Amino acid sequence: MTLTDTPAARIEALAAAQKAWFRTGATRPEKFRRTMLRRLDAALVNWEDRLCDALWQDLHKSHEEAILTELSIIRSEIRQHLRHLREWMRPERRPTPMKLQPARSRIVAEPLGQALIVAPWNYPVQLLLNPLVGAISAGCTAVLKPSPHTPHVARVLEGLIAEIFDEEYVAVVQGGREVNTQLFALRWDVIFFTGSPALGRVVMRAAAEHLTPVVLELGGKSPCIVDRGADLRIAARRIAWGKSINAGQTCVAPDYMLIHRTLRDDFVRAFADAVRQLHGEDPRRSPHYARLVDERAYERVAGYLTRGRILFGGETDAAERYIAPTLLGDVDPEWPVMQEEIFGPVLPVLIFGTTDEAVEFVTTREKPLALYYFGPEETGREILARTTSGGACLNDTVMHIANDHLPFGGVGNSGMGRYHGRESFEAFSHRRSMLEVSGRIDLPFRYPPYRLFRWVRKML
């Protein structure tokens, strides 16, 4: 299936219409925002089968996985915003110092304005509509750009949005990099982009032309440390799940593993058992094991298997874009598999002797989007205190993003800005400082010739 690029004139007309409509103030009332959030929630129910079918066509993603990793996350986000919207919109009082009296101080959350939301292909529903929840909640308008690499999903999303929203409020545009280039050249009030660090730099350069604020949810190489004292059976099961969900095409999937040298062989056996429990003897036949998104992605990830030693897995099928969950040993840190985000079901395995070695390996590389540690909790907390990452789990993988009370976002090379829950509301809001001063009293001390300055100075 091939998508037709939205014409340039159409994109410019949509952007102009949304800017004009936002200026009317129609998106600001709490009642309007609640109505739009409920409308989106109802549409997710009505369009569930069509969305799940499209995810199967594009990614071989099962109905159950589509619900768990895409639709349920959005609906949970909507429920939280409906529950707390009034609280988040309420002006926040701040103290006013004596030198400014008589006056009152507060912070008011106001919508930034017109948002551009650009989503990737790996979770094409969640990563487009979850930020939209924040934009709606904050009172913004939005232009949505799905990924062309999942065309069936992109087409269904366009239909869903057109059915429930007027285009001067929320609209979908389609296309590849040329359309992205045109979108980034326009002036927006905020850009929310999810993708690779390389494309994040492109977005940030374009946004700098207009001093547009950006939220960049990127990726990188998220380490997974397995230390002495870890329960290998549980660790293997959780790592196998975190690496095989969506065939490893998850920005927070473990990207490489550091394991204590005494544990590697036992872990490989435990990992093999875990994969069989999750997907059977042949994951290719599992209804819950996805495929690489396209031939280019397949060739890139399969190419990593040509160097190193396959400890487990390694089976491939180009016709199906299938790569089995794979552990890859004897890898050189300078090889591409250790320099690029893998975004597939291949997990390089490196060994370490001391936790100091593991920490040094992690901290001498770019800051990752996630970090996972399996082992004693006390040691894990110590390692987290000595490292940094966008998010982290002790004795688990990926699941920190399932808590909508925790913000999600990267740091450094893995991104900037945060969302989920209140942070989504704030990502699309401007916290405006306001000082309300009495118009009846005008104290003379701040005006020249500064009489009684000796006493005024003590108040400053």
Using CA atoms, how far apart are residues 178 and 65, in angstroms rounded to an integer? 32
Does 168 participate in catalysis according to the annotation? no
Beta-carbon-side half-sphere exposure of residue 91 (alpha carbons within 13 Å): 12
| 152: Cβ contacts below 8 Å, ≥ 6 apart | 1, 53, 54, 55, 57, 58
Quick one: 28 exposed, middle or buried, by C-beta within 10 A (0-12, 13-18, 19+)?
middle
Q: From the candidates 52, 140, 224, 251, give the one annotated as an active-site residue.
A: 251
Using CA atoms, how far apart are residues 212 and 23, in angstroms rounded to an integer? 18
Q: What's the full length of the chain, in residues?
A: 460
Q: From the candidates 65, 77, 158, 217, give the one annotated as an active-site residue.
A: 217
Using CA atoms, how far apart are residues 452 and 388, in angstroms rounded to an integer? 52
Q: What is the dihedral of CA 442, 445, 447, 449, to 10 degrees?
A: 140
Using CA atoms, how far apart are residues 131 and 195, in angstroms rounded to an integer? 14
For tokens 């042949």, what's the residue?
Answer: 282
Does 251 participate in catalysis according to the annotation? yes
Is there a contact between 263 and 230 (Cβ–Cβ < 8 Å)? yes
Using CA atoms, how far apart are residues 388 and 409, in angstroms rounded to an integer? 12
Using CA atoms, how far apart are residues 234 and 237, in angstroms rounded to an integer? 5
- Which residue numbers are catalytic? 217, 251
